[in-house]
Structure 1
Amino acid sequence: MAGSATACAYSPDGKMLAAGLDEGGLEIYDTNTWRRTYRCLVDHPVLSVAFSPDGRRIVSGSKDGKVQLWDYTNGKEVFVMEGHLRSVNCVAISPCGKQIASASADETVRLWDSKTGKCTFVLKGHTHRVRCVQYSPDGRQLVSGGIDQKIRFWDPETGEPGAVWISSWGAVNRLAFSGDGRWIASGHEKGALQCWHAVSGELGLVLRGHTGNITGVTFSPDSRWIASSSNDVTVRLWDSSAGTLVFMSGSHKANVHNVNFSPNGHQIASGGRDGKVRLWEVDSILSSSIAAYDHPGPVVKTVYSPNGQAILTASGEQNVKQWDSLRGAPKLTNQEISTMSFSPNGLQLAFGTIDSSIYLWDLQSEECTVELKEHTDCVTCVAYSPCGQWIASSSIDKTVRLWSRQQPTSETESWSCIHTVQDFFRHVLTTAWSPTVPMEFVTGCWDESVRVWRVSGKGEDVVVKLVWGTNLAVLHAPGLVLKDVAGLSSTYRRLLVQRGAIDDLLPLERARGLEVEE
């Protein structure tokens, strides 16, 4: 992944992960392979992303105040929804898919019609930046939270305000729905967790104990537990029904950045600034972690593999390790990487490095089987196609390269670069494949443009065509020659002819009596 991920969201089927980048871009990853399948670049940081219930559309919010809806099946931008005066910090799509909610630093929440792109309601009530907004699982309630310490409930059908709670625990940093949709947990600046009834908006529990800013809050899949992390260097496990503290660990020696439940809810993984990743066995409620892993730098990201048997950890120094979640044994050596992605079957891991290389690791043999070298600068994203036979990679070198898995002539795996997309003027930050449209991928560029490409042909006759794009301030069309151009001065004509942009217009210049050099 190029740059830091400012927001991420899973598709409804869990097969895709969309991430917004602070460097300006949107990336989509296949969660089976963790390969990037779609990437697009925009001029402003993408602060929030969300999938529609059917997985066909993605909504994004950016720092320039725009809310954009994308049709992921054909790569077309459906709407650009403008109205916010400041950055859009969070976006959400209703469970029925008919409405979009956006929370902004302009102190408002806006509701949009997903069919027309028109703003239907402007929800006012917050008196400071709104940081988060979420629909209840049944879509009947909308909840928002912000710097003003307010958690507000709204009726999304009428725009009418509901319950309001002003917390004495500082800004609302995190919101999480329980799996059954009955409760909402909020994490606050001053270290408290609060649980709210999702329908009535009434305060149910206040979980006190943390003494620092809440950095993470999440429900277990069965809604029985709440896990939290904080800058007070602790990880805590709470009984969500009784509101009691079940487990606390101060094993980390520095701020804990994040906490996550494993897919089966049996483990908790935490990552801290002390360079440690720790695993906790929930069922046993141990007083100490079952494993502690040394990392070469502060752990800023922990991710479970789809089957929950492995954990990927990343440090701020762009080092990545994979660990066995049961034994705690590292499976891969350190790699200075800029991005990583799993193959669809979960048996291979692709690394993009800062020195322009791509490495494919066999997770069973724990060996690097393929090294791909075509890029000339840092690889910002690698993405496997849903079928696993293609890889799209983007780079600071302003290109996207398409790799194809070759038919094996021996036991050695082979990939080759069969096409290079050079139609970019700035860094290409991200790319992702469409989960529904065969052989279609999206790119995100530093110039704030999002483009969707379609691949056709076979072998050496592969063709990649632009399907649609947004914010295309500059047209880049290699090999295109314009004819019958008029209205240019002699100097500009000569310059464009020399650059190969227009055909030889010297006869036309003579016809107009212009002096030309033979």
Structure 2
Amino acid sequence: MNYKFHNLLGAPYRGGNVLVVNNTLLISPIGNRVSLTDLLKSQTQTLSSQSSSNLRLIASSPDALFLLTIDQNNRATLINLIRRVELHRITFKATVRAAKFSPDGKFIAVGVGKLVQLWRCPGFRKEFFPFELVRTFSDCNDEVSSLDWSPDSRYLLVGSRDLAVRLLCVEKRKGVSRPFLFLGHRDVIVGAFFGVDKKSNNVSCVYTLSRDGAIFSWGFSVPGRQTSDVEMEGGSDPESPGTPGRGGEEEGEGKVKSSKRKAEALDVENGSLDEDGTVLLHTLKWELLKKDYFTQASARVSACDYHRGLDMVVVGFSNGVFGLYQMPDFVCIHLLSISREKITTAVFNGLGNWLTFGCAKLGQLLVWEWKSESYILKQQGHYFDVNAIAYSQDSQLLATGADDNKVKVWTISSGFCFVTFSEHTNAVTALLFTAKNNSLLSASLDGTVRAWDLYRYRNFRTFTTPTSKQFVSLATDQSGEVICAGTLDSFEIYVWSMKTGRLLDVLSGHEGPVHGLTFSPINAVLGSSSWDKTVRLWNVFDGKGVVESFPHTHDVLTVVYRPDGKQLACSTLDGQIHFWDPIEGLLMYTIEGRRDIAGGRLMTDRRSAANSTSGKCFTTLCYSADGSYILAGGNSKFICMYDVADQVLLRRFQITHNLSLDGVLDFLNSKNMTEAGPLDLIDDDNSDTEEGVDKQTQKKLAYDLPGSMPNHGRPVIRTKCLRIAPTGRSFSAATTEGVLVYSMDDSFIFDPTDLDIDVTPEAVESALNEDQPKRALILSLRLNEDLLIKKCITSVKPEDVPAVASAVPFRYLQRLVEALADLLENCPHLEFMLRWCKELCQYHGALIQQNSRNMLPALKSLQKSITRLHQDLAETCSSNVYLLRYLLTTSDKK
């Protein structure tokens, strides 16, 4: 039962800024979590650490060792990216919209409301309060909106919502009382950046961008020095500090270029250089050299970034268009539309060849290579809640269907979506993979059940009814030849033929929506659950109609068969799980789960979470691969795992700690209650919120449960669907946060199978040294230590594999199969491992068949590993065959 959080699918991006560290590692916030995407290996992983609310801002240290995350409650977390662990936490006292590490990694600049705070970056030293406040700047008249460090970490450019940019000196120096002001913008500052001379690596200019689409270029002159003719190419007098200029474009371009030449003319005598040769920016006389504007009509600048090495600016607009401009000449290189909604983040990678864009409203995350004009990454999540999920038979694929009418198929190992089907015209309510694993079935409220080909990625079959119905449940028999779907409005079950697509039968009898359908794994009996308080069994092939009916006292929400077909489980509206014997028609036992799933109080609740009983029920159930335990989830922040035989709660998984969702807190703060209702539910229409997570109201669907509370504008935490992988090594939950994937904990857990005083790691090593592979393997299996088992397997000689495999006792066989499945994923000795599998199956085949229920998870894992290797080798062999044919044809011509 050692499941832990592994990944989050269905929502690659939800708001906030993204980062690209080490040129190829993409860091993006997803709700209150952080996702890491390797752009070279095409793999994504979500960190298990959570913030108290949705993340607004993330910042990374220059060496990519530390990650600072700041949420909407202004609570910051410092994370070690290498170890994936939290180091420190701190809470700021005002809204934080900008934060950045210094280039030398010693300080963190944080814009806390109107203040700019400098914090010393905590390291690995153990301290009571590791965050040390070094200095505070209180020069801004409104909230800080952007920050940028100079290359030498001595100066800060601070953009504010008061339409000004300030140049701050980090070190306390004599004669520096007030910061230099860059004025002239007519809207909120979106970005301010230092331009650097490539030869001397000194600051040569400053670029400031405002939300109305203006970019100003600023240069400097040395106090006390006459302006040369080269510096005055435009012929006009130098502008006074802090005032905008009125020169033309040609004049401005000349000034920017001459300003870069000035960086080499600075000297120590005039006080423009420090003793170590660095430029003292606060002693320079800055002037506005050039004004440029982005021609995007009414669209505003919503995101921007600057790359110092390439001297380029990338800008994202509120209409979904992005532009790439070469500075200082302001030459437009690219101007493309990549979305229909506002771009909320735009950033360069370290080399400057990749551009990363994010759209919070649509959940889009794009990585664009601007030189070759191609996508490196293109992902988009579901816009609304995920209703249904399904595992493929080999546990490699996961399909999701949501309220946005789309069906997506994800690769679990990489965490990426590789195909999206959008033919449905209403919410997708149920999904199912066929037995042969080459097609996917989906049911929708649009009145159709569609079959998707996973080889050609097309809809090859559509099942309809004479009159339009709304389908909310789906089931298929073991052969995949019969498709059944339950309706919401007419309370009927429709049966189709997979081959012909013809409607075979209509099963009537239910008096409420049919929300649960499941076929027995051992015969052709179909189980259905309905809101009419009954579970019915149907004989689909013989056409006898209802075989058995199990009455309940409350509405039945879902039904599921145990994998061996000898037990049926269903959940009711009163929070109970009933277990039936489908053969004898008897109630075996009942689990009272209302108190287990209880927890979390909605903003509109008038009772505490402990006393509230409304909606506390399980809406989805799922048996484990061996049927020994069952997972249950519903309108709560908990997923419960029960032991079926003893009817006891084994474990509770809390889906999230995100306070941005309703129903997470057990106790509400009475200070937030006003005469108009809860303070969090009152929308401030006058607030001018910028980038971040947009408030999305949850759709109130027609098939919501009776008695469920209205949403009132805040997403409510709930679990809509649960599925366990056929291998038993992981399970997935479709929740308000997205699709959460939990897998077995790979950390070291000492769990010996048959321990004795003589069973030690030293005894295993001694047996290996004495060339006794049988004894060494059995000792390692009794000790149940993973590394020793794998070492003993690989140390067996190929000719000794049959003898050793036949000597393994059956009680250790499951552990040995699990080790072989793991080795097949990573071991390069493919033929050797396949020989092991063959010998085990040949010698222990009869015993494996007799105990298939207990061995099923391990065998599924082995099948998954072999199938994956077969697919990889098939592609390689096919390409080799084509290459050899080509070489033969060319040699014959010569």
User: TM-score by structure 2 length?
Assistant: 0.30
Structure with a larger share of its residues in strand: 1
Structure with a larger share of its residues in helix: 2
Higher relative contact order, chain-length normalized (CA < 8 Å, sep 6+): 1
